[in-house]
């Protein structure tokens, strides 16, 4: 294990940002072009947004500006995400933030003028230009919460400032927070964010794993107060804006864009917390028994059930798994997979200053980009399949829809990604009769797909809800309070099955999703939908894949409820969630039975 400089990694393991801009000069020229278009729009649209024709001209100008702006922002964000410590990247990212705020300020009158129109005028514009229906529908939802034009302009001017907490969080985490080596039995081992989350957290040697957890937590603890202050600043700004705009609560404000109500949000958290906990406690006991652990601690929850049956895998071998495992999605999807490897859409490298975890960015008009830190562990097949699920979604949606219609609700966004994990697991299970391999696959579905999305992110959501409830009633939070809330959530879910050892309460510091609204709970929401669609596919329903492809192409033209319905799932009721939790329970039962079968043969 080592952490190398970005300049020392293999080119083929990095993504090709030249598909966005061939040179830095081209990037600078694009900014100049964008500024000219914005200036032209600011002049030509002033005073003309008074009827349907003026509204259409304003929306057309907005569309053109967004199409120009997205690759610029993507270039700045992707460059810094792989090397946060690079001064040039830092300045470029900050520069784009200032540019975006300046543009929003200059054009804030456009939205204000559109929302000042009677609803009938906006409806008329929809009839003339049906492709703008989605954009106008979202405007109409926003209409009751629009402020005076001068207030909107002032808020727009603070755009870069409002993004500051997230930027401070990343700077603290990936630039300032330097981890010293840790020692076990006199031997020294390297530590970093990516090394801990990609390797040490999964380490099968109990002494090393727990020592790594303690060392990692110790460094987090050094920065807990700064990180808590940063987070409190972020949520206080969200609360202030929600109040200014007249929302009843911060939850209503944040859920509006997701096109779901508080009932669906609360149901996801409450049902999983209560019904899934007994199943996951069985899984924790199975890990403890398989590893012969004296006690089961929070630091042990990510380890493989059978670590001797997790082969190493190369990047090129992962490509074959993607092609074979996702072949059911059709030729167009397979072509996208080939392009992602051939054209370097994926950044595999492990280097200092690189963002943790994995993500997919899908700039409209270009192609998706995927960030992952490749560890050569077999479970990376599931991580890569997950991110390629996002890529495939927007590859299809961006091609089928205009820029206003391409992006689906955050509530649905994790369904295509988790679907790919399920398809990959199904492929692996079908191609082996070996009990140990089957146990490895099923345990990976539990530990990677369901633990990560249905437990880790769900418990983050339960914690986040507690934080927002405090803020919504006028309170504030600090590090001791956040630690207390996180520990409460963990202890309630795991009961006396898992020891919530010191340091576990600091895991709230590790998640950037808290700076992205009510994001964490959407993982379980998306996985609920994808599990039910996967069950349709695996049962032999011949129309299931075709339906799913149409759902992906629909992008944001339908609500999450409508998208799920198109895929054959009714999320207006609790039943899909009950069924999904029961499915997880069945998988854990299979693990218990396979383990008993294997042990009798030893």
Question: Positive or negative, the Cα torsion across 6, 10, 15, 20?
Answer: positive
Please, what is the Cα angle at 456 between 450 and 461, to 5 degrees? 115
Question: With pLDDT > 70 as the criterion, what percentage of the chain qualifies?
Answer: 99
DSSP character string of 481-540: HHHHHHHHHHHHHHTTTSB--TTGGGGGGG-GGGGSSS-HHHHHHHHHHHHHHHHHHHTT
Cβ neighbours for 208, distance < 8 A, ≥ 6 positions apart: 184, 189, 200
Nearest 5°: phi and psi at 190? -75, 155
Write the pLDDT tens digit of every residue in 372-402: 999 888 888 999 999 999 999 999 999 999 9
Residues making up the chain, counted from first to last: 602
Write the pLDDT tens digit of every residue in 560-600: 999 999 999 999 999 999 999 999 999 999 999 988 888 88
Q: Check whether 370 has a pLDDT greater than 90.
A: yes
Distance (Å, whole) CA 576 – CA 77:
37
Tell me whether strands 369-371 and 359-361 are parallel, antiparallel or unpaired. Answer: antiparallel
Q: How far is CA 344 from CA 15, 336, 366, in A?
A: 5, 12, 13
Which DSSP letter does residue 14 get? S
Mean pLDDT of 310-317: 87
Tell me whether strands 369-371 and 346-347 are parallel, antiparallel or unpaired. Answer: parallel
pTM over 0.85, yes/no: yes
Q: Are 346 and 386 in contact (CB under 8 A)?
A: no
pLDDT at 163: 87
In the chain, what are the domain boundaries?
6-162, 311-448+525-601
DSSP character string of 279-303: HHHHHHHHHHHHTT-SS-BGGGTTS
Write the pLDDT tens digit of every residue in 30-64: 999 999 999 999 999 999 999 999 999 999 999 99
Structure tokens at 8: 């020392």
Picking from 492, 488, 526, 481, the residue whose alpha carbon sits closest to that of residue 235 is 481
Structure tokens at 550: 């149409």
CATH code, 311-448+525-601: 1.10.1370.30
Picking from 156, 58, 141, the residue whose alpha carbon sits closest to that of residue 100 is 156
Q: How far is CA 301 from CA 297, 353, 431, 505, in A?
A: 7, 26, 28, 14
Please, what is the Cα angle at 109 between 33 and 240, to 5 degrees? 110
Write the pLDDT tens digit of every residue in 448-502: 788 888 899 999 999 999 999 999 999 999 999 999 999 999 999 999 999 999 9
In the CATH scheme, what is the homologous superfamily, with its name and number, of domain 6-162? Oligopeptidase f, N-terminal domain (1.20.140.70)
Write the pLDDT tens digit of every residue in 272-309: 999 999 999 999 999 999 999 999 999 999 998 887 77
pLDDT at 602: 62
Question: Positive or negative, the Cα torsion across 576, 383, 265, 586?
Answer: positive
What residue spans of 369-456 are helical by DSSP H? 380-400, 415-430, 435-444
Cβ neighbours for 404, distance < 8 A, ≥ 6 positions apart: 63, 131, 132, 134, 135, 556
DSSP character string of 198-246: HTGGG-S-HHHHHHHHHHHHHHHHHTHHHHHHHHHHHHHHHHHHHHHTT
pLDDT at 1: 46
């Amino acid at each position: 294990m080592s952490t190398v400089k970005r300049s020392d990694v293999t080119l083929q393991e990095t993504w090709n940002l030249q598909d966005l801009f061939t040179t830095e000069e081209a990037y600078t020229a694009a900014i100049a072009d964008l500024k000219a278009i914005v200036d032209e729009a600011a002049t030509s649209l002033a005073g003309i947004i008074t009827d349907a024709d003026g509204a259409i001209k304003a929306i057309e100008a907005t569309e053109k500006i967004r199409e120009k702006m997205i690759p610029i922002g993507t270039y700045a964000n992707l460059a810094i995400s792989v090397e946060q410590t690079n001064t040039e990247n830092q300045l470029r990212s900050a520069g784009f933030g200032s540019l975006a705020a300046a543009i929003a300020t200059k054009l804030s009158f456009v939205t204000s003028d559109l929302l000042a129109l009677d609803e009938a005028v906006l409806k008329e514009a929809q009839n003339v230009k049906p492709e703008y229906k989605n954009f106008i529908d979202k405007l109409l939802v926003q209409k009751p919460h629009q402020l005076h034009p001068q207030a909107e302009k002032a808020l727009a001017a603070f755009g870069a400032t409002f993004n500051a907490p997230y930027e401070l969080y990343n700077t603290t985490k990936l630039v300032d927070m330097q981890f010293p080596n840790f020692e076990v039995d006199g031997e020294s081992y390297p530590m970093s964010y990516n090394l801990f989350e990609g390797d040490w957290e999964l380490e099968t040697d109990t002494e090393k794993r727990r020592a790594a957890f303690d060392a990692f937590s110790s460094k987090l603890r050094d920065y807990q107060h700064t990180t808590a202050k940063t987070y409190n600043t972020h949520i206080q700004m969200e609360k202030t804006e929600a109040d200014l705009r007249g929302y009843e609560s911060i939850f209503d404000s944040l859920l509006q864009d997701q096109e779901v109500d508080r009932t669906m949000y609360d149901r996801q958290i409450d049902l999983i917390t209560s019904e899934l906990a007994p199943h996951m406690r069985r899984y924790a006991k199975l890990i403890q028994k398989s590893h012969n652990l004296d006690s089961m601690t929070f630091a042990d929850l990510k380890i493989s059930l059978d670590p001797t049956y997790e082969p190493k895998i190369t990047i090129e071998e992962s490509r074959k798994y993607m092609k074979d495992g996702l072949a059911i999605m059709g030729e167009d999807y397979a072509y996208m997979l080939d392009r992602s490897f051939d054209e370097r859409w994926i950044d595999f490298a492990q280097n200092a200053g690189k963002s943790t975890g994995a993500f997919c960015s899908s700039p409209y008009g270009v192609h998706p980009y995927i960030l992952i830190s490749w560890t050569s562990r077999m479970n990376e097949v599931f991580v890569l399949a997950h991110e390629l699920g996002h890529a495939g979604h927007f590859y299809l949606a961006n091609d089928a829809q205009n820029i206003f219609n391409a992006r689906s609700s955050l509530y649905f966004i994790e369904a295509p990604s988790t679907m790919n994990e399920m398809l990959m697991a199904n492929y692996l299970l079908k191609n082996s009769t070996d009990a140990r391999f089957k146990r490895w696959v099923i345990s990976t579905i539990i530990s990677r797909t369901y633990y990560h999305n249905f437990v880790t992110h769900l418990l983050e959501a339960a914690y986040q809800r507690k934080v927002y409830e405090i803020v919504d009633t006028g309170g504030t939070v600090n590090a001791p309070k956040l630690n207390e809330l996180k520990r409460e959530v963990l202890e309630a879910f795991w009961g006396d099955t898992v020891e919530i050892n010191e340091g576990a309460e600091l895991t709230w510091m590790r998640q950037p999703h808290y700076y992205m609204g009510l994001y964490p709970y959407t993982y379980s929401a998306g996985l609920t939908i994808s599990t039910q669609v996967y069950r349709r596919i695996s049962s032999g329903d011949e129309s299931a894949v075709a339906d799913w492809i149409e759902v992906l192409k629909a992008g944001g033209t339908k609500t999450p409820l409508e998208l799920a319905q198109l895929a054959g799932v009714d999320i207006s009721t609790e039943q899909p969630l009950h069924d999904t939790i029961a499915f997880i329970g069945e998988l854990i039962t299979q693990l218990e039975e396979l383990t008993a079968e294997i042990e009798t043969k030893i």
